[in-house]
C-alpha cells in the first residue's frame, strides 16, 4: 500500500505542469528578444513590446512611446549591416513583484559593414511586465559603454 501511494505521488508530481516564476518568465522574453535580433526579425522583436512601452535605443534621439516608432527603429537597425547579433554578456535580475521584473546588464551587439564585423559593447535594461496572460517589455534602454567607440 505504501509503495502504491508513493508511486501515485510520483506520477502526480511528474504529470503536473511546472510553473515558472516571474524571473524565469521575464528572462524568456529577453531570450526571445535576442533570438529575434539575431534573426533580424522585426515583426518578432516588435511583438515583444507592450503597446505602452517606453523605448530608448542606442541610436534613439528621443524616448519612443509608439509601437510604430519602435518598428521604425528596428527596421533601420536590423535590416542594414547584416548579419546582426546581440548577446547578453552579464545580467542582474530584480523581481519587483509577481508581475514586473527588471533585467539589466552588459551586452554586445554586432553588425557587418563592408565585410567587417563591428562590435558595439553596451549597457542594457529591460523592464518586463505581465500584461494579461503574457509577459511584455514595458521599458527598454540601451546605451554604449562610455569611453568605447559604438
- The pLDDT assigned to 148 comes to 60
- The pLDDT assigned to 147 comes to 82
Dist. CA 93–CA 4, nearest whole Å: 42
Dist. CA 18–CA 116, nearest whole Å: 44
- The pLDDT assigned to 20 comes to 73
Cell numbers at 16, concatenated: 503536473
Cα separations (Å) of 137 from 2, 7, 38, 143? 49, 42, 18, 17
- The pLDDT assigned to 38 comes to 97
> Could you tell me the domains of the chain?
20-144 (3.10.450.50)
Instruction: Kindly give the confidence (pLDDT) of every residue in the chain, 150 residues in length, as a single tens digit, with 9 standing for 90 and above.
Output: 444 333 434 344 444 345 679 999 999 999 999 999 999 999 999 999 999 999 999 999 999 999 999 999 999 999 999 999 999 999 999 999 999 999 999 999 999 999 999 999 999 999 999 999 999 999 999 999 988 655
- The pLDDT assigned to 150 comes to 52
- The pLDDT assigned to 149 comes to 57
Amino acid at each position: 500500500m505504501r509503495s502504491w501511494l508513493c508511486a501515485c505521488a510520483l506520477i502526480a508530481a511528474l504529470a503536473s505542469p511546472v510553473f515558472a516564476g516571474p524571473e524565469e518568465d521575464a528572462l524568456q522574453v529577453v531570450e526571445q528578444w535576442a533570438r529575434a535580433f539575431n534573426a533580424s526579425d522585426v515583426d518578432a522583436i516588435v511583438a515583444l513590446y507592450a503597446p505602452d512601452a517606453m523605448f530608448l535605443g542606442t541610436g534613439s534621439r528621443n524616448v519612443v512611446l509608439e509601437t510604430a516608432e519602435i518598428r521604425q527603429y528596428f527596421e533601420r537597425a536590423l535590416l542594414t549591416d547584416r548579419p546582426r547579433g546581440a548577446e547578453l554578456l552579464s545580467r542582474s535580475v530584480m523581481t519587483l513583484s509577481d508581475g514586473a521584473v527588471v533585467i539589466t546588464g552588459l551586452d554586445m551587439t554586432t553588425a557587418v559593414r563592408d565585410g567587417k564585423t563591428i562590435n558595439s559593447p553596451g549597457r542594457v535594461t529591460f523592464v518586463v511586465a505581465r500584461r494579461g496572460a503574457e509577459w511584455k517589455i514595458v521599458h527598454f534602454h540601451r546605451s554604449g559603454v562610455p569611453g568605447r567607440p559604438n
